Structure 1
Amino acid sequence: MMFKGVWKSTFYFLILVFFAACGGNGMKKKEMNADAYFEYAKAKFDKGDYLDAITEFTVITLRFSNDPVVDDAQYYLAESHFKQKEYLIAVSEYQKLINDYPQSTYAVLAQFKTGLSYYNMSSRPELDQEYTKKAIRSFQTFAEEHPEHELTANGEELIQKMRGKLAKKLYTNATTYRKMGENEAALVYFDIFLEKYYDTTFAPDAYYWKSEILYKLKRYEESLNYFTILVEKFPEHGNIDKAKERIGKLSMMIKSAQTDAPVDEANNN
């Protein structure tokens, strides 16, 4: 389960919270009301003492669970983990805020920060892209639910960046099969690529190599079609002269085949 390790760590952490609340300045903190305790914890956060802030905000969520300040504490608890780059725990705490306090003024921001946490956990293109996909879904949901929010444009920009990463991974897979001479497998990957990532920087090369593979597989009409698309959409491509040469040759081959077909049929009779 995704958060199994998180909850195990939380159990031990709560024990530390208990002793922290009882020790040191325990009497002074014990006398604080919810607002005063929040200001005390927030001061820790503002100074960058995120570990202490985590402890104190956790105390607030437990000790003042029915006070209006609790959703603020829950948000800054998540933020403290985010600042510590403990992104998976941060996601858990942001989600708790969203689920338990949906009317909180921080709920929308917590939704965005959930996506940002996944984004920060996103791996290099050659590695597993689970968190990349989760980040994309989170930002897409945010954009759908809050189209006018000032952070929506930021999320959409990050979506495009992550789509580029997914595109690179898929293009690399297609290229690997192409270089191995596994043309049918490479073609499958290029097909998927051009269906999903036709608007990325790898698209021109994908069109070119798909056209070449179709040529090698003697699927000449399809090859001609994709070479033509390449020339029309990407006239500055590095292999544009080769593509035009292929178009000329393929056009002649297809025309010749169409002209010769009736003759062959007559000869067969």
Structure 2
Amino acid sequence: MRYLYLALLVSIITIAGCSSQKLNTPVTASDYYQRGERFLNKKDYLKAIEAFRTITTNFPGSDLVDDAQYGLGEAYFRSGEYSSAISEYEKLSREYPLSGYVEKAQFRIGQCYLRQSLPAQLDQENTYRALERFNRFIQEYPDSDLIPQARQKILQCRTKLAEKDYLNGRLYARLRAFDAALYYYQKVVDQFGETKWSALAQLEIGEILLKQGKKDQALRAFQRALASSSDKKLKKRALQRIKKIGEDQ
């Protein structure tokens, strides 16, 4: 009899365990979405992707399908897989254009490109793509709460592109290819005047013109550099050059 009771007890525990396991297994789109959100917050991105993907694959008619699609983009974005994140955000915008997540997804695409942007001395294809995306975002969502951030990102992109042209100018100046150097420095001044690189480019233009004996033009370049910068070292250097030109005349 004792063994019978033990066998019965084991059976009850086993059945209870199986029942509990079934209760914890996601069965609806809502269950999978909560699971995905939980793993996303825990930074377990692979499991989050698995949960969100189950919704988009197995519950295509669910009200949560666009939420899950955005969740996929977020999981890839937060894990640093930016190319995959772009694909998921683009899919959201393409297949669920009326979703409330589209606006944020479009902003995220710009962020993805910017985070893949290489240092200024290297290729800037992703910087240009990010700039295009943020400009488009401002045009398409002028009342968005994300507009201030988008403008900040645009300045970040333009500053890096200005640095790229400034470095090109400096390279040519070191090679004494002054016409090419002036071209890039002037491009910085003309196209990226709001960045710190504009005043630096003006200063370098003055240096080249001074070497070429064009003192009047050099003087104007140094004066523009002085007026357009708040950097103490740059202003000091510009003042020294202006003073030197005055002494030589």
Partner Cα distance (2:200, 2:29) in 1 = 60
Give 1:241's aligned residue: 239
Paired with 1:199 and 1:40, the residues of 2 have a C-alpha distance of: 46
Task: Say whether the 8 Å CA contact 1:208–1:243 is kept in structure 2.
Answer: no
User: Quick one: which of 86, 89, 93 aligns to 1:91?
Assistant: 86
Q: TM-score, normalised by structure 1?
A: 0.75
Q: Deviations over 1:10-37 (max 9, x none)?
A: xxxxxxxxxxxxxx97x944xx232233
CA distance in 1: counterparts of 2:77 and 2:246, whole angstroms: 58
Q: Are 1:81 and 2:79 an aligned pair?
A: no
1:124 and 2:122 correspond: no
SS for the counterpart of 1:202 is: helix
**Map of 1:179-218 to 2, 5 A cutoff?**
179-218=174-213
User: 1:167-224 CA distances to partner (integer Å, 9 max, x unpaired)?
Assistant: 2221111111112211111111111111112221122221121122223334555434
1:234–1:93 CA distance, 2 compared to 1 (3 A): closer
For structure 2, which runs of at least 5 residues remain unmatched after alignment? 1-20
Amino acid at match of 2:147: T
**Does residue 175 of the first structure (1) align with residue 173 of the second (2)?**
no
Distance in 2, Cα, partners of 1:202 & 1:115: 23
1:31-110 correspondence to structure 2 within 5 Å: 32-110=27-105
For 2:223 and 2:121, how far apart are their aligned partners in 1? Answer: 31
1:230 to 180, 203, 225: 225
Please tell me the residue identity of whatever aligns with 1:168: E
Match of 2:128 in 1: 133
1:114 and 2:109 equivalent? yes
- Deviation at 1:127? 1.7
Rounded Cα–Cα distance in structure 2 between residues aligned with 1:28 and 1:180 = 68
Structure 1 CA distance for aligned equivalents of residues 91 and 125 of structure 2? 21
CA–CA separation in structure 2 for the residues paired with 1:200 and 1:168: 9
Q: Is the 8 A contact 1:227 1:246 kept in 2?
A: no
Q: Distance in 2 between matches of 1:91 and 1:130?
A: 16
Q: CA RMSD in A?
A: 2.4
**1:141-189: CA deviation from partner (whole Å, max 9, x where unpaired):** 1122222222111121122122222222211111111122111111111
Matches of 1:232 and 1:163, distance apart in 2: 21
Query: 1:249: how far off?
Result: 6.8
Partners of 1:41 and 1:213 in 2: how far apart? 60
Structure 2 residue aligned with 1:156: 151
* One-letter identity of the residue aligned with 1:239: R
User: Percent same amino acid among aligned pairs?
Assistant: 32
**Aligned residue type for 1:217:** Q
Task: Describe the superposition over 1:247-267 as per-residue Cα deviations: whole angstroms up to 9, x where unpaired.
Answer: 5379x5xxxxxxxxxxxxxxx
What is the TM-score with the length of structure 2 in the denominator? 0.81
In the other structure, the counterpart of 1:265 is: none
Distance in 2 of aligned mates of 1:121 and 1:232: 35
**What is the deviation of 1:101?**
0.6
- Deviation digits for residues 110-168 of structure 1, max 9, x if unmatched? 11111111122121112211112211211121122222222111121122122222222
